[in-house]
Each structure stands twice: as structure tokens, then as C-alpha cells.
Amino acid sequence: MSAQETSLAPDVLDDSVVGQAMYELAEELAPICRSITGNGVRKTLNVIGERIPLKITEVPSGTQVLDWTVPDEWNIRDAYLLNDRGEKIIDFKRCPLHVLGYSMPMQGRVTLDELKPHLFTDPSHPGWVPFRYSYYTKNWGLCLSHSAFEQLEDGEYQVFIDSSLEKGSLTYGECFLPGTTDEEVLISVHTCHPWMCNDNLSGIAVATALAERLSFQRNRLSYRFIFIPTTIGSITWLSRNQARLHKVKHGLVLTCVGDNGQFHYKRTRRGNSAIDDAMIYALKQTGEPHALLDFSPFGFDERQYSSPGFNLAVGCLMRTPNGKYPEYHTSADNLDLIRPEKLAGSLALCERAFEVLEGNVRYMNTSPNGEPQLGKRGIYRTIGGSIPEESLVTMLWVLNFSDGHNSLLDISERSSISFREIRQAADLLVRHGLLAICD
């Protein structure tokens, strides 16, 4: 799809159109079986790469990355369980969560007692298939709803898991949008969850739309979107990019951004970074209830970016946080759990925050002794003039507080005038030589 054909151009402001486009991306990606490595990740990145320019990197199994090693590559073709009447009672093709992630291949007849240690259920949600994996300990297994598990009868079962675990590579994708400066915003989403829509596909959909929309405009900051498997992916990316991490000034992990819950923003480890200020401002502007969480060293990949050796300013945006909704890491985290309008709201929130990152600078009033005479510059409200009174008031706020200490966001908060209006007034004053940039 070319940029011109997309429904995600920045001038498309209709939330229902934008939300539907993101939802359709999630629908397209949902059936693909992803894991931390393998062809499912490649297929996923290929679909994303039809929308935004994506550079794919393959890192060979066995590569040392920080304190970790890139694992063997896992691929799965089919998996099922037959009872002794030949009935298929577990079928990977109906839902990829039915196989233990990174399961070793297995083919053979087993008794129920032999089978049970290899079956995984979630008794607290008996109707749903849980997401289970064994990335770093070799095992084979199948997952099923607890209610189906309880109906298993004594007898022999035929297990069939057609998987492979062998030398290959870890795959990640990167979309870089250069700005007029090389200061970077890092947006990180994970690409390793099969099936699940809120914890995974919602973040992919919003990040892809953000990249697509940012690519239409001229940005001061450079934006780097990375689509990576969780933990080992961010560790791999960090390991390979250590020499240039100083360029990353702001960062955001996006996940669980499509459900019906209120926004939760998890602050950076530093707690008072520019991305924190920008996100908190954007959250207030929504007028919706929301919650701020302090940094904690668990959750998603923010914990890798925020490890003490890197301490990057990376926050995390979610609606309902991981583990706080019953469908989390189960088959019920499906396309019914995410809504187009919620995806659109998450996109709009990020865009508003990035607008602040783009334009939040400090200025010095070049004519600070008394108000400068705006009339002789043609920007004072005159009878029949085109500048409404609010614009004049906004300019006076900007002039008065542009003393080299207050940023435009500080002035917005102090005046209760939106950042966008404050910035527009500042741009006008800069054009008339009344403000000089401090930063």
C-alpha cells in the first residue's frame, strides 16, 4: 500500500477510520503463530513492512548479547492430541496457544498419567486456553482449557507436535524516520505473542500507525520504532546499539492499548523525564480518568532499557496493565477484547505527547522591558483585525514567561492554555524576532 492510498494519513482525523485501519491490521496478524524467533515473526514483520519502511535484522543463534545468548530458532507446523477413539481433542490449527511455546517435537502414544505433566491449564479461568512457554528449558507440551482437561478419560493418547528447534536466528524489525536533529525517540513493541490481541497486537497496530503518520510530516526529532521479541529482543537490540544509545532522548513501550480500560502510564526510571511530562500532559488533555504508575523493574521491555547501565528515559503506555485483566495471557485476549475506538484513542494520545516532545523548548523574550509593541508589528488585536483576543492573551503569556527558565509546556500548564496554542503563539513571535531559542 502506498502512503497516498492509506487511511492513516495525518489529515485523516476521523477516529473511526483510523481505529478501523488499526483493528484490521490486528485482524490480519492474529492468525499468525509468533514466538521469540521463527517464521511467524518474519511473516508478522512482512505485513508491517507493507505499511512502513522496515529494516529486518537476523541475529544468529548462539550470538552473545549482553548476559544472554540468542536461542535456537523455533518453528511449529502442527500439533494435536488424539484420544483412543481417534478424536482430535486439542488442535493447534484452531488456536496456536494450544502448543507450549518452544515445545520440542513429540510424536507417540502415552497414557493419561504420562501425558498430564505435559498439559498446561489455568484452573482460575477454566474456559480459556492459557499462554504458556518454555523458552530456555527444553520440554514438550500442550495447553488446553481446564474444563477440557477435567473431561480427559483414562486411556491412551496420541501426541503429535511437529516443531523444530535448531540453529537459525532471532528476527527483529526497525523503522527509522530521520528528523532535522539526530535526537531520537525510541518506540518499542514486542512481536512474540501468538494469537493475543491486547497484549501484543494492539501495540503493534498503534506503533505502525504512529510511524505511518509521522512519516508524512517534517519532524525535529528522529523516530526509531523497533518490533522485537520481548526480553531477548530488547537485550539483543541494546547489545547491538550500545555505541549510539546516547542519541535516545525519549522512549516509549506500547502494549495493552486496545482494551476498554482507562489509560495507565508507567513513568521512566528517572521519574521526571521529558517523556513523562509529555505523556502526563497528553493524558490530562484527554479529560478521561487515567492512572500514573511509578517505574518498577518488571512488566515489559522498559525494564531492559532502564537497567542501571543504560537508564534510558523509557516509559510504558498501557490501558489495563499486564496481569490486571482476566483475559491476560489467555485465548480470551482475542479480537473481541480490543476496540477500534480504543486503538484510535491510544494513537491520538501518543501523537499529542510527541507534539509536545517536538516543540517543547525554552525561549528568551528579546524585548523583556515592558511589553513589546505588537501593533507596529501587525500582530496586536485591532478593531476589525483578524487576531482574536485569545491569541493576544496567549502571546502575552508566552512573552511574559519566556525568561529562559520556563519551557512552552510550563507556560501551557501555568496559563491553562493548550500546548498547541502556546506553541503557535511562540512560532509567530519567533517569526517577528520577539523570541530567541535558549536550548
Q: DSSP character for 375? A: G
DSSP E strand stretches across 294-336: 314-318
Q: Please report how close the Cβ of residue 200 comes to Zn ion at its closest, in angstroms.
A: 7
Q: Whose Cβ is closer to Zn ion: residue 206's or residue 428's?
A: 206
Any contact of residue 302 with Zn ion (CB under 5 A)? Answer: no
Q: Whose Cβ is closer to Zn ion: residue 157's or residue 325's?
A: 325
Q: Whose Cβ is closer to Zn ion: residue 199's or residue 277's?
A: 199
For 130, the grid coordinates are 492459557
Q: Please report how close the Cβ of residue 132 comes to Zn ion at its closest, in angstroms.
A: 12
For 3, the grid coordinates are 502512503
Q: Please report how close the Cβ of residue 35 comes to Zn ion at its closest, in angstroms.
A: 12
For Zn ion, the binding residues in 175-204 under the rule CB under 5 A are 199
Q: Whose Cβ is closer to Zn ion: residue 255's or residue 365's?
A: 255
Question: Would you call 217 exposed, middle or buried from its count of C-beta atoms within 10 A (0-12, 13-18, 19+)?
Answer: exposed
Q: Whose Cβ is closer to Zn ion: residue 194's or residue 359's?
A: 194
Which one-letter amino acid corresponds to residue 165? L
Q: Whose Cβ is closer to Zn ion: residue 52's or residue 99's?
A: 99
For 7, the grid coordinates are 487511511
Closest CA to 194 of 74, 18, 303: 74
Q: Please report how close the Cβ of residue 13 comes to Zn ion at its closest, in angstroms.
A: 32
Residue 279 parent element (H or E): helix 274-286
For Zn ion, the binding residues in 332-391 under the rule CB under 5 A are none
- Return the ∠ at Cα 113 (arms to 110 and 115), rounded to 5°: 50
Closest CA to 347 of 335, 337, 359, 339: 339
CA distance 381 to 391: 9
CA distance 388 to 288: 29
Q: Please report how close the Cβ of residue 123 comes to Zn ion at its closest, in angstroms.
A: 20
Instruction: Please give the size of the binding site for Zn ion, defined by CB under 5 A.
Output: 1
Q: Please report how close the Cβ of residue 248 comes to Zn ion at its closest, in angstroms.
A: 23
Annotate 123-137 with b (16+ C-beta within 10 A) or e (fewer). Answer: eebeebbbbbbeeee
Site string for Zn ion, 7-46 (x = CB under 5 A): ----------------------------------------
| Beta strand 169-177 pairing with 55-60 | antiparallel
For Zn ion, the binding residues in 260-299 under the rule CB under 5 A are none
Q: Which residue is nearest to Zn ion (CB)?
A: 199
Q: Please report how close the Cβ of residue 1 comes to Zn ion at its closest, in angstroms.
A: 29
Q: Whose Cβ is closer to Zn ion: residue 324's or residue 414's?
A: 324
- Which chain residues interact with Zn ion by CB under 5 A? 199
